[in-house]
Structure 1
Amino acid sequence: MPQGGRWTPRTGTSSRTTSSYGEVLEQLRTIPSEHFGELSEPATPSTTSPDPLGPIREQVAATIVLRATRDAELVDRTKVGVVFTLPYASGEEFLRTIAEELEHATLLRQEPYLFILALPVTMGLSPLLICGSSEDLSDRAGTLVKSKFLNRVQRYELRNGRWGALIRDLCSTTYDEAALWDAVRKAAREPMDPLIPPPGSRSISQILDQARARLQRITPQQAYEELQDTALMWPVVLVDIRPEAQRRQFGSITGALVVERNVLEWRFDPRCAYRLPIADRYDLRVIVFCQESYTSSLAAASLHDLGLLNATDMIGGYAAWKEAGLPDEVEVSSTAPPTDGRLSVPVEA
């Protein structure tokens, strides 16, 4: 057990005062050592003699549990709390004793509970134990603690329904106490019913239908004819938004602009410094396609949000283009990259 200096609990980090029981332990130090030995430096355990501190430790743990349950918060029918004790030898064992008392507490037997027990050490590793009425509660709280303390969690494990860890410099800032409270509160929230969506949310099917309702979608044949039409008053570009892996696997249309989905808006916003040279006007006809025309519908609707109201997508995507027997090479725009088959590009003299 790492040793450290005295830790003083901070206030103002939660809606309730964090339970701190160092003063109880301090009172035990005043009991003459002949009764049970020095608490801060217990005698080396013997295999033949009982632990003289056992009854005292259990009595203090019971007091801690009583006060912790009294001061606990109620979150979605689960009692939650954060308990700190002062650093002293056998501290990890004392945390386990408190956990056992929590598991047998009469006040907690009939309802869910989740508590974080910690023994802050100002310089070094502090043991922390999460115990709850179910392993899922402890695991959720442990996951949140790991996320909040990141590289300060040195070791951790989930065993027998408890989540334990060693955390460096615990409570060295006011953030730590607030973070622990936040972890137990959020972990105690009851899981949402997956069949009841939150207000204002939309399913992906609804999002897709609403996006397509904004578009005048065209078939691959119509797209090909538009690309060949010289009478149109606006430029037309065919844009492949598929990732490279899909282009390699299924093939591509030589001459189409390759603008992957994650940068599409930046490349076609006329107001953006990172736009393509061709994207300098709002009447540009952008025909977007993906592999099967699901992502492309959402992408085209996003271009409408930018003001490119002529944008649309190709029904059925590249798969439908191939099925229609359309050519693998089309003439689209001078901004298209050169094909791989060219021996040289006449740019330099």
Structure 2
Amino acid sequence: MEDDITSSSSSTLSYGQVITRNSVGVALPIPHGSQNSHDESPPLRTLDDVRDQVATTIAVRTLRDAETVDACKVGVYFTLDRAADNQFLGQIASALRRLCRLHAKPYLFALGVPSRGPALSASPLLICGSSERAVESAGLLVRTKLLNRVESERFDSVRTHWVARVRDLASSSFDAAALWDAVCKAARAPIDPLVPPPGSRSIAQILADARARLERLTPQRAYEALTDTSRPWPVVLVDIRPEAQRQVEGGIRGAMIIERNVLEWRFDPQCPHRLSVADRYDLQVVIFCQESFTSSLAAASLHDLGMLQATDIIGGFAAWKEARLPLEVEIAPSIVASFDD
């Protein structure tokens, strides 16, 4: 059976045999015929007394080795006694509950018995905690991690104990790592939906960062760039709006229609699915959507591919129409022949 947490040359060997441990003050039966100062023999200890003592010792050691996640004590323990059962795991869980209540600490622990025998049959696993939510979450995570190995799972009446039988439990180091991962993640405090996690950005921030990378064009400047034959690099106009929106709002004849979900594949010079015109990194891709929100994000995405002249039209197609620019644009002749996919 498990060692005591205090240093001693003696140890608990089994539920029915206990060696005296003076260092922790364990009261043991006095041999037959011995008398104390009052000539009275102390009551004999039962097997249940020994099991309770061993369970408490294990609980103390498990709590000592626990980690803290969001102020919650978490841990995993596999008993060395393969003859242990659900009842004994329950005794350890009760001892953990008493200790954690004494220190006013929330807790979540996984307690298991390694599988035994040549077939490594199913053996008990118990998850205990101070929170119904955490215990339920840990049980779901364990079932997901130990796929097709969890049997006869159930909760106790107050749903602070999740009990199951697991095939091949602790037959590899993966099981301990999986249980630690499950209890650590389940013990995390619920996230306030109004508090963003570290490193996140709002869509307004993402849009602002994208536009900071672009040399955006007004509709008039975009029109001039498209019709200027003196520029040394090719310029293409790209409509990324979905078909339904184009049918309702109209479009610009001469613009390349490339919907947003394939844009990067069509303009990456290293991609085998690129357009024939996208064979150089100085190509200027002028993108527009209806109001220039999606187009800014799309142009920034092309910058990530190395297409550093990619940009969009300020205000999108709506601003183009408002500026009364022609809806039929005569593209520079040197570009027309390159529009084929």
Q: TM-score range by the shorter chain?
A: 0.5 to 0.7
- Which residue in 2 is equivalent to 1:61? 55
Higher relative contact order (CA 8 A, sep 6+): 1
For the residues of structure 2 that align with 1:55 and 1:336, how far apart are their CA atoms?
A: 86
Deviations 1:244-284 (A, max 9, x none): xx434664757644545455334323344443211112221
Q: Is the 8 A contact 2:286 2:312 kept in 1?
A: yes
Listed as ranges, the gaps of 5+ residues in structure 2 are 6-10, 19-45
- Which residue in 1 is equivalent to 2:285? 286
- Which residue in 1 is equivalent to 2:93? 99
- Alpha carbon RMSD of aligned pairs, Å? 4.3
Listed as ranges, the gaps of 5+ residues in structure 1 are 1-7, 10-16, 18-22, 32-51, 339-349
For the residues of structure 2 that align with 1:150 and 1:137, how far apart are their CA atoms?
A: 20
Larger radius of gyration: 2
For 1:200-219, what aligned pairs fall within 5 Å after superposition? 202-219=201-218
- Which residue in 2 is equivalent to 1:39? none
Q: Is the 8 A contact 1:102 1:108 kept in 2?
A: no
For the residues of structure 2 that align with 1:146 and 1:325, how far apart are their CA atoms?
A: 62
Compute the displacement of 1:83 (Å): 1.6
Q: Is the 8 A contact 2:100 2:107 kept in 1?
A: no
- Which residue in 1 is equivalent to 2:67? 73
> TM-score, normalization: structure 2?
0.65
Letter of the structure 1 residue corresponding to residue 14 of structure 2: Q
Deviations 1:294-328 (A, max 9, x none): 23212212323433232111334456667778888
Q: Is the 8 A contact 2:108 2:135 kept in 1?
A: yes
For the residues of structure 1 that align with 2:14 and 2:131, how far apart are their CA atoms?
A: 34
Letter of the structure 2 residue corresponding to residue 138 of structure 1: V
Deviations 1:36-64 (A, max 9, x none): xxxxxxxxxxxxxxxx9876655543343
For the residues of structure 1 that align with 2:97 and 2:126, how far apart are their CA atoms?
A: 13
2:14 pairs with 24, 27, 32, which one?
Answer: 27
Compute the displacement of 1:110 (Å): 0.7
- Describe the shift of the 1:107–1:323 C-alpha distance in structure 2 as closer, same or farther (beyond 3 A): same
- Which residue in 1 is equivalent to 2:29? none
Letter of the structure 2 residue corresponding to residue 299 of structure 1: A
Deviations 1:100-145 (A, max 9, x none): 3333336655112121112232523343222222233334434543
For the residues of structure 1 that align with 2:215 and 2:178, how far apart are their CA atoms?
A: 51
For 1:122-141, what aligned pairs fall within 5 Å after superposition? 122=116, 123-141=120-138
- Which residue in 2 is equivalent to 1:37? none
Q: Is the 8 A contact 1:291 1:317 kept in 2?
A: yes
- Which residue in 1 is equivalent to 2:77? 83
Number of residue-to-residue matches in the alignment: 293
Letter of the structure 2 residue corresponding to residue 127 of structure 1: P
Overall identity of the aligned pairs, in %: 57
For the residues of structure 1 that align with 2:175 and 2:125, how far apart are their CA atoms?
A: 12
Letter of the structure 1 residue corresponding to residue 92 of structure 2: I
Compute the displacement of 1:28 (Å): 2.3
For the residues of structure 1 that align with 2:164 and 2:206, how far apart are their CA atoms?
A: 43
Q: Is the 8 A contact 1:148 1:179 kept in 2?
A: yes
Q: Is the 8 A contact 1:208 1:294 kept in 2?
A: yes
> TM-score, normalization: structure 1?
0.64
- Describe the shift of the 1:82–1:153 C-alpha distance in structure 2 as closer, same or farther (beyond 3 A): same
